[in-house]
């Protein structure tokens, strides 16, 4: 049996997603008022997406298997994927940690830590790099925090640890 290409897998995922939404749209509460039901528009959209996804699926069956990875010089397999997308994956993970810890660290401390971590991961771990990144992080986040707090009067998240917004 021929292995599935990337587009076919995406099309299958989209069709599964459409199935989930179609099921969910059947459970939308119908109020006794209004002429256009709250479920009508989403159901039309789900039908449209399902149709497009089905066309995409059929089209994808004719595509060659993952030519893109050869084109962009990526190694095959999971390790090749992780190596190729290393930077974005780490950045997303750091951002996730930043948001998860925001209630404790707050916007200022958390933001400084975020910028420092991102710069260090992307730019290097050398002693001079660390100092430079720390300066960039403090100055940039300090400026943003001041601008939003005092200039735009935005109450940024206050951290429990230091109680600094």
Partner 1 sequence: MEHILAALAEIATLHTLLLMSAGAIAGLLAGAIPGFTIAMAVVLALPFTFSMTASQGIATMIGVYVGGLSGGLMSGILIGIPGTPSSVATTFDGFPMARQGRPGLALGLGVWSSFFGGTIAAVCLIAIAPQLARIGLEFQPWDYFALVFFALTITASLAGKSLIKGLISGALGLLIATVGEEDINGVSRFDFGSDYLQEGFAFLPVLIGLFAFSQLMSDIRDPAEARRSLAQTGDIDIRIEHLKAARIVLSKWKNLVRSSLIGIFTGILPAAGSSISNILAYDQAKKASATPEKFGTGFEDGIIAPEAANNATAGGSLITMMALGIPGDIVTAVMLGALLIHDVVPSPSFITEAPVLAYSIFIAFFFANFLVLFFQSIALRLFVLVTKVKMYVLAGIILAYCGIGVFALHNIVNDMWTLLIFGVVGYAMRNLGFPLAPMILGVVLGPIAERWLARAVAISTDMSNFITHPWSVFFLTLSLFSMGFGMYQRDRGKKRWTLYYTPLMVLALTPAMFMMEGFIRPGIGIVMLIGGLYALYQAHNKAAGFQPAAGGTPR
Q: Which residues bind partner 1 (CB under 8 A)?
A: 6-7, 10, 14, 21, 24-25, 28-31, 33-36, 38-39, 41-42, 45-46, 48-49, 52-53, 55-56, 59, 68, 84-88, 91-92, 95-96, 98-99, 102-103, 107, 111, 114-115, 118-119, 122-124, 136, 140-141, 144-145, 148, 152-157
Cβ closer to partner 1: 1 or 31? Answer: 31
Judged by beta carbon, residue 49 or residue 130, the one nearer partner 1 is 49
Could you tell me where the DSSP H helices lie in 61-126?
67-71, 77-84, 86-123
Q: What gap in Å lies between CA 57 and CA 107, rounded to an integer?
A: 44
Q: Which residue's CB is nearer to partner 1, number 33 or number 78?
A: 33
Please give the Cα distance from 11 to 60 (Å, whole number).
Answer: 8
For residue 62, which phi and psi values (nearest 5 degrees)? -90, -5
Q: How far is the CB of 115 from partner 1 (least distance, A)?
A: 5
| Alpha carbon distance 77, 19 (integer Å) | 29
Burial of 56: CB neighbours in 10 Å, binned 0-12, 13-18, 19+: middle
CB of 151 to partner 1, least distance (A): 8
Q: Which is closer to partner 1, CB of 1 or CB of 155?
A: 155
Q: Is the CB of 1 or the CB of 159 nearer to partner 1?
A: 159
Closest approach of Cβ 164 to partner 1, in Å? 14
* Residue 72: CB minimum distance to partner 1, A: 9
Q: Nearest distance from residue 38's CB to partner 1, in Å?
A: 4
42: which 2 tokens? Answer: 């989403």
- Rounded Cα gap, residues 19 and 45, in angstroms: 12
Cβ neighbours around 76 below 10 Å, total: 10
Report DSSP state, residue 30.
Answer: -
């Amino acid at each position: 049996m021929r292995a599935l290409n990337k587009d076919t897998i995406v099309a299958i995922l989209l069709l599964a997603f459409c199935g989930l939404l179609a099921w969910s749209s059947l459970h939308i509460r119908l109020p006794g008022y209004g002429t256009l039901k709250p479920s009508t528009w989403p159901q039309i959209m789900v039908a449209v997406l399902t149709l497009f996804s089905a066309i995409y699926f059929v089209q994808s069956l004719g595509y060659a298997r993952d030519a893109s990875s050869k084109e962009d010089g990526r190694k095959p397999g999971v390790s090749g994927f992780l190596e190729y997308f290393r930077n974005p994956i780490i950045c997303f993970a750091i951002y996730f940690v930043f948001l998860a810890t925001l209630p404790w660290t707050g916007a200022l401390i958390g933001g400084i830590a975020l910028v420092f971590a991102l710069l260090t991961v992307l730019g290097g771990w050398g002693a001079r790099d660390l100092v430079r990144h720390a300066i960039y992080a403090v100055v940039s986040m300090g400026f943003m925090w001041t601008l939003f707090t005092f200039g735009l009067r935005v109450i940024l998240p206050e951290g429990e640890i230091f109680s600094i917004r």
